[in-house]
Every structure is written in structure tokens, then in C-alpha cells.
Amino acid sequence: MFQRMRENLVLDPIPIKPAGKSAAEPTAAPVISPQKSNSSEVEEQRKKLREEREKSRQKELEETVPETEEVKLQREKTFLEDAQYDYTDGLKDALEKGVNIEVQDEEGNTALIIAAEFGNKKAVGILLKLKCKKNVKNKKRETALYRASAGNFHDVVRSLLKAKVKVDSYDKERRTPLMIASMMGYGDIADELIKGGADVNHMDKTKKTALVLAAYSGFVGPATSLLDAGSFVDSPDQFGWTPLMLAAYNNQGEMTRLLLDRGANPAMVSSRGKTAFDLATEAGAAGALEELKKGAGKAVIKPLKVSKKEQEEEEEEEPKEKKEKKAKKKDADAGGEKEEKKEKKEKKLKKKGSPETDRNAFLSFLLCWSANPLTCLGIK
């Protein structure tokens, strides 16, 4: 529909394969080069467009324009441009003339997503007040909150959270606004999202958490907030790389120290059996190595993966132990039952009397009867 300036964000890590390394594992911090959309140049463009739109608006009010399909499309295009340049009067006029508040551009962006992407607090406020859909996603599955977080627009993020948007809505890579803010080092945005209930341990498609991304990029501020909020310090990605390994490999000394202070285990190994110390040594990361040496006493051997043989042995041992417990219980129950039956039989015999006792009693009765029947019967 129209040309818009967007932030040039490289959200995915770009591995650089050094000699002797597997291309499957991450080897470098992600390249992030955001272009601020709220620069003086852009603000000047906004001002000019608002002036032009005000003139055209006054002209439209004076003239009666036939409602053709072409006019309708032009109004929708203008409506989205007004969201981009924070022209709230134009937004209201367009809506009064019947423009659908949920109209989307060719990339699937609604007016709310566009306004949030460019940090237009007034336009966002108007659109929210007019009950637009708050959690609509564009073709990249990005919401207004996601774009505002990626652009580091604190006021817009706060307004959206106040409007109860979904804080953990994720894009095609399953990355949430918190993960983007953490990766880009936007500490204030990360804090706002955490306060809004964001899941600090959510994983993307490659099992990276917000803390993994913050450590990857070396941003201590967001990492500290994530750890304070309960982020798992040793959470590994799909290659078994923990935040500490990534920080050590990229020679992030301050991040390495923070993670060690928060209990990160320097003895954990990646899927290739490498510890943080091994990776830092390979990369020649002197600062990180120094921090790892200081924290060497904290090491606890805790491999990430158990071998197939050990797993099979564990699976065999577990049923065996269960069988033994079951057999012991069965024997104990059987023994108790036998003892109980024996006691019952003895009680019954005592009550009834033994065969020999019964025979002697009968003979005594016969002798008594032959001598004096009346006495035997107890009659005097």
C-alpha cells in the first residue's frame, strides 16, 4: 500500500563457522542494528504529512466525493498512513466515514500495529479507546506489543499492557516481546513486560529463553531482571549451550561473572561435550576465562545428556527394584495371612475342644448315668 520506514532488526543469530568447528552450533552473538524510527528527520516528515492531511481534510469537508471502490481503498490507505504519522484527527474522520478499524496493509499490519511500531502513543491510545482488536498478528505473527517492544517504545508498551494485551504472544520463531527486548538490551521494556506477567522461561523454536538471548548479546541489565524474576540460569538451547557458555564464548566478562554469581554451573557440557571453559579457551576469550577461573570452585559435574547405555540400564533397574518391592510385600502379606489363619484355628479348637477331651467327657457321663441317672442329670 505505501512505503514505510521499518526497523532493520536481525532477530536470528548468524553463525560464523571458524576453522575446526561444527556449523550446527552457535558461534557468535546476533547482529542487531535497529534504526530509530523516532528520529528528527522522521518527526519532520510526520509534521509535513499532518499539515498536508489537514488541508486535504478541510477540502474533503467542503466537497462531496462519490463513494466508489477506488475512494474506499484510498481512505483505507490514508487511514493506515495517519496511524504511521500519529495524525489522530485523520484517524477519527476515516472511522466516521466508515473505514474498517481492522483494515490491514499488504504485510498484515493493522493501524494499531503500525502506530505501535512507530511509537505513536496518541494514535495507539485513540485506537484502543475505539475498541480495536488488541492481539491481531501480521503475516510474521507479530502483534502491536511485539513491535512496540522491538522499537523500545516504553510508553506504548505500558499503554498496551494496561489494555490487557496478551503479553506472551509470539512470532513465527516463537519469540515473545520479552525475548526480543532482552536480546536487544532494552532493560526498561523487559522490566515492564516482566511486571505485566511475561513468562521468563518461555522457549523459542531452538529452545532459547530470554536469558539465553540476553547472554548471547551480552546485555547484563535485562539478564539481571530475568534472573530476579526466576529465569533458569542453566537452561540450555537445542545445542546444549547454556547462557554461561554463550557469554564465555563471546568474551562477555561481566555477563559471565553475573551468571556465576547467580549459581550458573561451569561444569555443564554442551551436546559436543564442551564446557564454558573449553569454549572460552577455543575463542581466546581472556576476560571470560579469568571470571571462569574465579568461579571454578563452584563447579558441579552435571552433564546435560545421559548416554544411551546408562539410560537403558536405569530403565532395566527401575522395574527390577519395583518387582523386588512387590515380591517382598506379597510375602509379608502372605505370612501375615497364614499367621492369622493359624490363630483363628487355635481359638476355634479351644472353644470346641479336642477329640480326645470330648471322648473322655462322654465316658464319664456314661459311668455317671449307669450309677445314678438322676444325679448325672443334676436331680437330687
- pLDDT tens across 85-110, in order? 888 888 888 888 888 999 999 999 99
Model pLDDT, residue 293: 86
333-338-344-345 Cα dihedral, nearest 10 degrees: 170
- Number of other residues whose CB lies within 10 A of the CB of residue 343: 10
Model pLDDT, residue 5: 41
Task: For residues 48 and 249, give the distance between their C-alpha atoms in angstroms, rounded to a whole number.
Answer: 48
Amino acid at 133: K
Mean of pLDDT values over 112-140: 93
Contacts of 195 (CB under 8 A, 6+ apart): 161
Whether the pLDDT of residue 40 is over 60: the answer is yes
Contact 195, 228 (CB under 8 A): no
Q: Which fold, 1-166?
A: 1.25.40
Average confidence score pLDDT of the chain: 77
**Closest by Cα among 294, 245, 290 to 267:** 245
Amino acid at 324: E
pLDDT tens string 334-377: 555 666 666 766 666 555 555 555 566 666 766 666 666 666 55
Model pLDDT, residue 28: 39
Q: Calculate what percentage of the chain has a pLDDT beyond 70.
A: 62
Buried b (16+ CB within 10 A) or exposed e, 130-163: eebebebbbeeebbbbbbbbbbbbbebbbbbbeb
User: Where is 116: in which H helix or E strand?
Assistant: helix 111-117
Three-state DSSP class for residue 61: helix
Mean of pLDDT values over 139-165: 95
Three-state DSSP class for residue 337: helix
Q: Where are the domains of the chain?
A: 1-166
Contact 255, 223 (CB under 8 A): yes
CB-based burial of residue 279 (10 Å sphere; 0-12 exposed, 13-18 middle, 19+ buried)? buried
Whether the pLDDT of residue 124 is over 80: the answer is yes
Residue 169 DSSP symbol: -
Model pLDDT, residue 26: 45
CB-based burial of residue 350 (10 Å sphere; 0-12 exposed, 13-18 middle, 19+ buried)? exposed
* Residue reference for cell 498478528: 137
Model pLDDT, residue 333: 58
Three-state DSSP class for residue 153: coil
**Closest by Cα among 11, 91, 18 to 54:** 91
* Residue reference for cell 532459547: 208
Position 193 confidence tier, pLDDT thresholds 50, 70, 90: very high
Among 147-151, 152-156, 364-368, the minimum mean pLDDT is found in 364-368
Higher pLDDT, 300 or 105: 105
The three cell numbers locating residue 267: 561444569
Whether the pLDDT of residue 63 is over 60: the answer is no
Contact 161, 145 (CB under 8 A): yes
Model pLDDT, residue 49: 72
Mean of pLDDT values over 219-245: 94
